[in-house]
């Protein structure tokens, strides 16, 4: 009971309740929260310290940045979610906070989009500076080929490289990306490769315009470190995965290369095995042992997780229910 009382006391203050509401909508830095609230950084930091001590917020550091988010697994995390749900978003103060938060998220998206636009033509060259893609690609092909998917989804397809190497191991493959410039490059690459079963579409990884349980394999390759809400992106990927399907995430292990954030718009400096496993379980997936590909200075990790298999009748019905328009005409 004491921890609940402590949490209630911590949040029983207007600014702290606003902070909890904001941090429920994404991972935010102190400077971003200061900008939204219009208060001094020391004052905001004091409020955040109290909320973390009460178990309402989680705090984690990445290089010189510190992020805050709504608690995921503390004894008071359920209370935190209930408090957020009880808040009236039409309240003038909260409405203004959320409006400013939207502006910050648009600014982040604009920065990432600008980077993609500027580097679309040389994306492969930039990635090759950090990791040997041939080794990563060989491991990915082995995973996908073993799964034998009928329908494969590549989220954040970029130049379409994952589709080039993985589409031959699936009946149909779809790539989603939010950058029209990237999709233009991807279409050229897919046409050059003669891949008739692969196509791309403009889309948002947080809100995929795709039916539930419509793919046997979902790949997210070197995309999550740009994500404002990585857990939400994984949850959305899991939503479109069929029972028995495989989710494959490729990204960096935790590192301290700040220039990737400053010069290349990386939002996160890698991910730990524990947090990826936690996100997968929260999305209803069973994580497997990750595969590590050490590099200098970055290490690439391939995390896999599976959607628990339904009985054969349910799985077959899900396959048959997949709209033909999605798998045929609309994919092109």
Encode pLDDT of 176-221 as tens digits: 998 888 888 888 888 889 898 999 998 999 999 999 999 999 999 9
Q: Residue 109 falls within a domain, yes or no?
A: no
80 and 214 share a domain?
no
Exposed, middle or buried by CB within 10 Å (0-12, 13-18, 19+), for 177? buried
Q: Residue 227 falls within a domain, yes or no?
A: yes
Encode pLDDT of 42-83 as tens digits: 999 999 999 999 999 988 776 677 889 888 777 888 888 898
Segment (H or E) for 246: strand 241-252
77 and 161 share a domain?
no
144 and 95 share a domain?
no
Encode pLDDT of 93-116 as tens digits: 999 999 999 998 888 777 766 766
Q: Residue 117 falls within a domain, yes or no?
A: no
72 and 144 share a domain?
no
Q: Residue 196 falls within a domain, yes or no?
A: yes
Q: Residue 243 sits in a domain of what CATH number?
A: 3.40.50.150
Query: Residue for token digits 């033509």?
Result: 121
Q: In which band, very low, low, confident or very high, does the pLDDT at 262 lie, cut at 50, 70 and 90?
A: confident
Encode pLDDT of 299-313 as tens digits: 999 999 999 987 543
169 and 310 share a domain?
yes
Question: Is the full-model pTM beyond 0.85?
Answer: no
Cα Rg of the chain, angstroms: 21
Q: Residue 113 falls within a domain, yes or no?
A: no
Q: Which of 71, 101, 131 is the last residue of a domain?
A: 101
157 and 237 share a domain?
yes
Distance of CA 185 to the CA centre of its chain: 23
Q: Residue 39 sits in a domain of what CATH number?
A: 1.10.10.10
146 and 180 share a domain?
yes
Supply the DSSP string of 148-194, one letter for each residue. --SEEEEET-TTTHHHHHHGGGSSEEEEEES-HHHHHHHHHHHHHHT
Q: Which of 101, 132, 167 is the last residue of a domain?
A: 101
322 and 174 share a domain?
yes
Domain residues for 41? 2-101
pLDDT at position 1 is: 77
- Report the pLDDT averaged over residues 85-89: 90
């Amino acid at each position: 009971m004491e921890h609940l009382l402590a949490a209630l006391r911590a949040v029983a203050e207007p600014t702290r309740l606003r902070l909890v509401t904001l941090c429920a909508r994404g991972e935010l830095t102190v400077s971003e929260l200061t900008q939204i609230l219009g208060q001094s950084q020391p004052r905001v930091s004091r409020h955040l310290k109290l909320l973390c001590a009460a178990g309402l917020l989680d705090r984690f550091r990445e290089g010189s940045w510190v992020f805050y988010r709504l608690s995921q697994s503390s004894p008071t995390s359920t209370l935190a979610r209930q408090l957020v749900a009880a808040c009236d978003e039409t309240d003038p103060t909260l409405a203004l906070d959320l409006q400013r938060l939207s502006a910050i998220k648009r600014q982040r998206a604009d920065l990432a989009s600008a980077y993609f636009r500027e580097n679309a033509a040389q994306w492969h060259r930039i990635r090759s500076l950090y990791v040997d893609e041939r080794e990563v690609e060989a491991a990915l092909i082995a995973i996908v080929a073993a799964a034998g998917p009928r329908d494969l989804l590549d989220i954040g397809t970029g130049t379409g490289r994952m589709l080039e190497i993985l589409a031959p191991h699936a009946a149909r493959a779809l790539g989603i990306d939010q950058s029209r410039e990237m999709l233009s490059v991807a279409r050229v690459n897919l046409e050059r490769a003669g891949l008739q079963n692969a196509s791309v579409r403009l889309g948002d990884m947080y809100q995929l315009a795709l039916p539930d349980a419509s793919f046997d394999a979902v790949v997210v390759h070197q995309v999550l470190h740009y994500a404002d809400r990585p857990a939400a992106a994984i949850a959305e990927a899991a939503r479109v995965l069929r029972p028995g399907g495989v989710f494959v995430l490729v990204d960096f292990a935790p590192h301290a290369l700040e220039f990737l954030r400053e010069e290349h718009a990386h939002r996160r400096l890698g991910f730990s095995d524990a947090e990826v496993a936690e996100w997968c379980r929260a999305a209803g997936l069973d994580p497997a042992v990750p595969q590590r590909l050490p590099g200098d200075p970055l290490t690439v990790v391939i995390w896999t997780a599976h959607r628990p298999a339904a009985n054969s009748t349910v799985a077959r019905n899900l396959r048959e229910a997949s709209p033909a328009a999605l798998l045929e005409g609309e994919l092109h």
